[in-house]
Structure 1
Amino acid sequence: MLVRHIINIVSVIAGVLLISAVSFNKLPWWSLLVLVFLWLLVTAYGVANIRSGYFLKSLNSNPDAEGKKIAITFDDGPDQNTLEILKVLDKYDVKGTFFCIGKQVEKHPEILNRIIEAKHIIGNHTFSHDKLIDLYGTDRFTEEIKDADEIIEKISGKRPLLFRPPYGITNPKIARAVKKTGHAVIGWNKRSFDTTIPSEKVILRRVTKNLKSGDVILLHDTKSITVTVLEQLLLFLQRNNFTTVTIDELFSIQAYV
């Protein structure tokens, strides 16, 4: 966030200097367009990359984690496919963190409770996960977080403190909403792209390449391909002496109110 303020201040100063230079015919007018383009480019990177910390602080990995600990997270459930994910996790006695969508919780309350009964951790992933949710105003986005919290608590008795923005998108409105709700924002540093990549080998290679202690892996429990990838991943972790922990354990934070 400090970086964003510095960039904005530098951009304003540079803009004033450029306007002066253009006024005295020292520089061509299009030099202003170059500055605007560069500012937009940096801002777009900040919006799309949760790890940049451009708009808000997020927990993406913990390089100080003792031992070879990593966290596996799942987005967009609960879903019927989540049951298969739970079977694989149970087979290897591994705990994961599930960032759940409120409307999916309404559809599959029994699966939400299965996740919790198996001692996995539940996080908030907004109520609707609408395709245009990153365009919502602060108040509307705040309601998305609160509504998801309420339905999760109503069904499970647990009110999550962990939140992951849909698509990993961040902006000033989302930052203000999260500040109001008091959630810890959880990102990742190992993105699988299991929702778009059709190859199990490619997905597995993406999440295991240069894997190190403290890493956070992003998967989706809504995809059947993820079930197979998950088992291969857990075998890889076993062979390489990694320990899988939940997000709250990895970062030593509270998962629920």
Structure 2
Amino acid sequence: MLIRKIVNIISSIAGILMVTAIYFNELPSWSLLVLAFLWLLITAYGVANIRSGYFLKSLNSNPTLTEKKIAITFDDGPDLNTLKILEVLNKYNVKGTFFCIGKQIEKYPDILKKIIQENHIVGNHTFSHDKLIDTYGTDKFIGEIQKTDTIIEKNSELKPLFFRPPYGITNPNIAKAVKKTGHTVIGWNKRSFDTTIPSEKVILQRITKNLKGGDIILLHDTKIITVAVLEQLLLFLQRNNFTTVTIDELFSIQAYA
């Protein structure tokens, strides 16, 4: 929340100074370049960091919670590795929230059904999760969301209300698309980097450092390393009296329409 306010204030000031300087021609050209660079830097931060709230509102944690409840979320499935993740979750009687890619659901519809049958929550993570998806126009991005909603509903009779943008990237087109589809955007405040860090120990330390009630953990059910990390995480949560809940429980909101 504080980060969002600071970013928005600085960005607004930089924008106002740029417009004023151009209109009144009172600042030297180098000052305009500095201001332009500052504005671009802040905008880039807003694009890359879902927690900034620069373009759209997202739920990244629930700091109002007084209980030691946290949510574990998984991106990019379903995948064959998801079955191993489900085994670990079931072993500890824990429920997670899975943000699924439409084309992956088409490949593994039975795994999606298994996720739902075991009372985990499913959210929308676009159809393609394309590497250049942040360059899509509003209409194309709406199509990505709606197509995945349709696929999830076809395989579960449930229409998801939760959406997580790929890579946590946001921009004006994504903001317009989500406003049109009416989804609640779910972010995180504990990013594991399990897709890039090769060490279970380092990943676990990133997740558990200063962990508190209301936090949302981001993992990926497509990664083998995540299976081992997840079990260690669940043991840590047990030892430290944390309760794991799904996103709808963490915020007391509906997961499906």
Amino acid in structure 2 at the alignment position of 1:243: T
In 1, Cα distance between equivalents of 2:192 and 2:65: 22
Alignment-derived partner of residue 117 in structure 2: 117
Deviation at 1:5, TM superposition (A): 7.1
In 2, Cα distance between equivalents of 1:9 and 1:250: 33
Does structure 2 conserve the Cα–Cα contact (< 8 Å) formed by 1:125 and 1:145? yes
Alignment-derived partner of residue 13 in structure 1: 16
Asked which structure has the greater CA Rg, the reply is 1
Does structure 1 conserve the Cα–Cα contact (< 8 Å) formed by 2:11 and 2:42? no
Partner SS, residue 77 of structure 1: coil
1:1-257 paired onto structure 2 within 5 Å: 9-19=12-22, 23=25, 27-257=27-257
In 1, Cα distance between equivalents of 2:11 and 2:210: 34
Partner SS, residue 60 of structure 1: coil
Deviation at 1:11, TM superposition (A): 3.3
Partner SS, residue 170 of structure 1: coil
In 2, Cα distance between equivalents of 1:108 and 1:61: 30
Partner SS, residue 178 of structure 1: helix
Does structure 1 conserve the Cα–Cα contact (< 8 Å) formed by 2:8 and 2:54? no
C-alpha RMSD of the superposition = 1.7
Does structure 1 conserve the Cα–Cα contact (< 8 Å) formed by 2:141 and 2:177? yes
Amino acid in structure 2 at the alignment position of 1:157: E
Structure 1 stretches lacking a partner, 5+ long: none
In 2, Cα distance between equivalents of 1:19 and 1:241: 58
Further displaced range: 225-234 or 30-39: 30-39
Deviation at 1:114, TM superposition (A): 0.5
Deviation at 1:18, TM superposition (A): 2.8
% of aligned pairs identical? 76
Q: Could you report, residue by residue, the CA deviation over 1:63-113 in whole angstroms, capped at 9, with x for unpaired residues?
A: 112410000000000000000000000000000000000000000000000
Amino acid in structure 1 at the alignment position of 2:190: K
Aligned pair count?
Answer: 254
Normalised by the length of structure 1, the TM-score is: 0.95
Does structure 1 conserve the Cα–Cα contact (< 8 Å) formed by 2:60 and 2:189? yes
In 2, Cα distance between equivalents of 1:184 and 1:38: 30
In 2, Cα distance between equivalents of 1:77 and 1:13: 43
Deviation at 1:7, TM superposition (A): 5.4
Cα–Cα, structure 1 residues 94 and 9, in superposed 2: closer, same or farther, change >3 Å? Answer: closer
Does structure 2 conserve the Cα–Cα contact (< 8 Å) formed by 1:220 and 1:226? yes
In 2, Cα distance between equivalents of 1:157 and 1:35: 51
Deviation at 1:30, TM superposition (A): 1.5
Does structure 1 conserve the Cα–Cα contact (< 8 Å) formed by 2:14 and 2:38? no
Deviation at 1:19, TM superposition (A): 3.5
Does structure 2 conserve the Cα–Cα contact (< 8 Å) formed by 1:3 and 1:54? no
In 2, Cα distance between equivalents of 1:130 and 1:217: 23
Query: Could you list the runs of 4 or more consecutive aligned residues of structure 1 that deviate by over 4 angstroms after TM superposition?
Result: 1-9
Partner SS, residue 228 of structure 2: helix
Q: Could you report, residue by residue, the CA deviation over 1:199-254 in whole angstroms, capped at 9, with x for unpaired residues?
A: 00000000000000000000000000000000000000000000000000001110
In 1, Cα distance between equivalents of 2:15 and 2:190: 35
In 1, Cα distance between equivalents of 2:218 and 2:240: 19
Amino acid in structure 1 at the alignment position of 2:39: W
Structure 2 stretches lacking a partner, 5+ long: none
Deviation at 1:156, TM superposition (A): 1.0
Amino acid in structure 2 at the alignment position of 1:84: K
